[in-house]
């Protein structure tokens, strides 16, 4: 009885301490001229991109970075020499002067970084896909609920002029009844543009392999798995997690779509033998709004590019991503499709395929996050959009791997 009483006291004390830390963190009010102090967990290519973007925001200071690969500290020191470096991200979170954390680790690590960051009282910019699986998504939601933390999910398309335009056009008087949304993401690049050389110093001495594996199946050190984690089911979710999520998040927010009733995914790996995940795929999401949301993708032809068509009984919203956001989105009344310049416009080819994508949208998205850290307003891609889109993406992968249509049980909050 005595040991149990002591145990309960420890739990209560821990909960009280956590509550106190959150209250302290949320009570710090930042003025327009106060510096926002940020740290980064995950200093790979995307991490460095968003760190540079944060540094370009007014009155923002980089305090520290954390990564399990020592090589990356040399890379980040080249443009952020003042940043403290940690191989254990928890030491970064111990810094009470830190206001916000950017998380850009591989997808299987997201919840493992996000939950401690929220519990440490930090605001979080969480790269997509927000959660690796349903269990991780629910853990993240539990940590976030009642935390008073600002969370921005890295679906940067929600911070674009194109999103604003699509949201304005998506009205019953223009579209009528919406029945279908077709989305495409194509590029002509072997392995999706994700293939890269393995540095000679990618060794067990330079990589914390145990921390990298997280909750995945334990394996001996493998430099290919570490560098090319996107190739493996244990750490990533194929192009569904890399790019479908951007288009799903865009329209889930624009139309306030909920988690699909059911999802099916087909496809295969036809031309990418080093990769375990598919290089060609087709996803169909049956939405509870009585809307069929389809998405298809491939890595060996760019004709469809990145595009969407939202189909209604009165008209269509067409989106063709290019370098001019103001012209990405157009409205085509029913019966005028043949006159549409958008429908006839050639697709622009990508130059050098990217890993995840950079540009003005990332700048706007990060700026919005930093502004919300100060104002405490809801950011452009809030937690709920990240949660719904992550579940939709996970349903697609479960369908593909199990070879069947899957369903969402709203009561149990599980894929069945």
Residue 411's domain is classified under what CATH number?
A: 3.30.360.10
The rounded percent of the chain whose pLDDT value lies above 90 is 84
Residue 237: both structure tokens together:
């979710």
pLDDT in tens, 84-138: 999 999 999 999 999 999 999 999 999 999 999 999 999 999 999 999 999 999 9
CA angle 400, 260, 414 (to 5 degrees): 75
Pick the more confident residue, 26 or 328: 328
The residue out of 103, 127, 156 marking a domain boundary is 156
Residue 207 falls inside a structural domain:
no
The most confident of the ranges 168-182, 322-336, 352-366 is: 168-182
- The per-residue pLDDT for 294 is 98
Domain range for 56 is: 2-156
Comparing C-alpha atoms, which of 267, 209, 207 is closest to residue 238? 267
Q: What average pLDDT does range 353-360 have in this prediction?
A: 53
Q: What is the band of 323 on the pLDDT scale with cuts at 50, 70, 90?
A: low
Please indicate, yes or no, whether residues 261 and 343 belong to a single structural domain of this protein: yes
Quickly count: other Cβ atoms within 10 Å of residue 189's Cβ: 16
- The per-residue pLDDT for 14 is 43
Comparing C-alpha atoms, which of 352, 393, 325 is closest to residue 153? 393
- The per-residue pLDDT for 120 is 98
The residue out of 133, 156, 179 marking a domain boundary is 156
Q: Which helix (DSSP H) or strand (DSSP E) does residue 302 occupy?
A: none
The most confident of the ranges 24-28, 294-298, 320-324 is: 294-298
Check which CATH number belongs to the domain holding 121 and give it.
Answer: 3.40.50.720
Residue 116 falls inside a structural domain:
yes
Please indicate, yes or no, whether residues 232 and 340 belong to a single structural domain of this protein: yes
Residue 405: both structure tokens together:
């249509």
Please indicate, yes or no, whether residues 190 and 336 belong to a single structural domain of this protein: yes
- The per-residue pLDDT for 24 is 45
Q: What are phi and psi of 409, to 5 degrees?
A: -95, 105
- The per-residue pLDDT for 13 is 40
Pick the more confident residue, 23 or 272: 272
Residue 210 falls inside a structural domain:
no
Please indicate, yes or no, whether residues 145 and 171 belong to a single structural domain of this protein: no
Q: Helix, strand, or coil here: 30?
A: coil
For the ranges 57-71, 207-221, 230-244, 330-344, which has the lowest average pLDDT?
Answer: 330-344
Please indicate, yes or no, whether residues 143 and 172 belong to a single structural domain of this protein: no
Tokens 């102090």 locate to 37
Q: What average pLDDT does range 358-364 have in this prediction?
A: 79
Residue 99 falls inside a structural domain:
yes
Please indicate, yes or no, whether residues 249 and 141 belong to a single structural domain of this protein: no
- The per-residue pLDDT for 360 is 75
Q: What residues have CB less than 8 Å from 302, skipping those under 6 apart? A: 186, 187, 188, 347, 349, 350
The answer to whether the beta carbons of residues 40 and 51 sit under 8 Å apart is yes
Q: Helix, strand, or coil here: 296?
A: strand
Please indicate, yes or no, whether residues 148 and 181 belong to a single structural domain of this protein: no
Please indicate, yes or no, whether residues 109 and 189 belong to a single structural domain of this protein: no
Residue 138 falls inside a structural domain:
yes
How many domains, the chain? 2
The answer to whether the beta carbons of residues 55 and 62 sit under 8 Å apart is yes
- The per-residue pLDDT for 236 is 97
How far is the C-alpha of 119 from the C-alpha of 5, rounded, in Å?
A: 25
Entry pTM: 0.90
Residue 395: both structure tokens together:
């349903």
Please provide the average confidence, as pLDDT, over all residues in the chain: 90
How far is the C-alpha of 184 from the C-alpha of 192, rounded, in Å?
A: 14
Please indicate, yes or no, whether residues 237 and 150 belong to a single structural domain of this protein: no
Q: Helix, strand, or coil here: 281?
A: strand
Q: What is the band of 326 on the pLDDT scale with cuts at 50, 70, 90?
A: low
Please indicate, yes or no, whether residues 307 and 183 belong to a single structural domain of this protein: yes
Residue 218 falls inside a structural domain:
no
Please indicate, yes or no, whether residues 101 and 22 belong to a single structural domain of this protein: yes
Please indicate, yes or no, whether residues 118 and 260 belong to a single structural domain of this protein: no
Whether pLDDT at 347 is above 60: no
Q: What is the band of 339 on the pLDDT scale with cuts at 50, 70, 90?
A: low
List Cα–Cα distances, 7 to 11, 12, 16, 143, 402, in angstroms: 6, 9, 14, 22, 42
Residue 178 falls inside a structural domain:
yes
For the ranges 23-32, 215-224, 262-271, which has the lowest average pLDDT?
Answer: 23-32
Residue 205 falls inside a structural domain:
no
């Amino acid at each position: 009885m005595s040991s149990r009483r002591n145990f309960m006291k420890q739990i209560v004390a821990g909960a009280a301490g956590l509550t106190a830390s959150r209250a302290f963190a949320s009570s710090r009010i930042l003025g327009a001229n106060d510096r926002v102090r940020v740290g980064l967990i995950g200093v790979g290519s995307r991490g460095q991109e968003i760190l540079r973007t944060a540094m370009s925001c007014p009155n923002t200071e980089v305090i520290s970075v954390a990564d399990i690969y020592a090589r990356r500290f040399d890379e980040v020191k080249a443009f952020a020499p003042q940043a403290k470096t940690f191989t254990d991200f928890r030491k970064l979170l111990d810094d009470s002067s830190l206001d916000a954390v950017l998380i850009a680790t591989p997808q299987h690590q997201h919840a493992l970084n996000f939950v401690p960051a929220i519990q440490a009282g930090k605001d979080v910019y969480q790269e997509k896909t927000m959660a690796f699986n349903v269990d991780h998504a629910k853990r993240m939601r539990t940590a976030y609920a009642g935390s008073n933390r600002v969370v921005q999910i890295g679906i940067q398309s929600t911070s674009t002029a194109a999103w604003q335009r699509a949201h304005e056009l998506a009205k019953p008087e223009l579209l009528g009844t919406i029945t279908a949304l077709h989305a495409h993401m194509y590029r002509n690049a072997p392995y999706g543009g994700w293939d890269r050389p393995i540095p000679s110093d990618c060794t067990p001495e330079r990589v914390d392999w145990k921390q990298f594996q997280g909750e995945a199946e334990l394996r001996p050190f493998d430099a290919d798995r570490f560098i090319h984690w996107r190739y493996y089911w244990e750490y990533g979710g194929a192009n569904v997690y890399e790019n479908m999520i951007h288009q799903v998040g865009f329209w889930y927010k624009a139309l306030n779509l909920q988690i699909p009733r059911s999802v099916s995914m087909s496809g295969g790996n036809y031309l990418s033998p080093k990769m375990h995940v598919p290089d060609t795929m087709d996803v169909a999401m049956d939405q509870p709004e009585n809307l069929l949301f389809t998405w298809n993708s491939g890595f060996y032809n760019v004709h469809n590019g990145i595009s969407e068509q939202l189909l209604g009984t009165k008209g269509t919203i067409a989106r063709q991503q290019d370098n001019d956001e103001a012209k990405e989105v157009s409205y085509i009344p029913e019966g005028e499709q043949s006159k549409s310049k958008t429908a006839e416009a050639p697709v622009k080819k990508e130059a050098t395929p990217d890993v995840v994508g950079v540009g003005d949208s990332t700048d706007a998205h990060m700026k919005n996050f930093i502004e919300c850290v100060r104002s405490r307003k809801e950011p452009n891609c809030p937690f709920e959009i990240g949660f719904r889109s992550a579940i939709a993406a996970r349903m697609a992968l479960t369908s593909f791997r199990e070879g069947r249509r899957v369903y969402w049980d709203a009561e149990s909050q599980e894929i069945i």
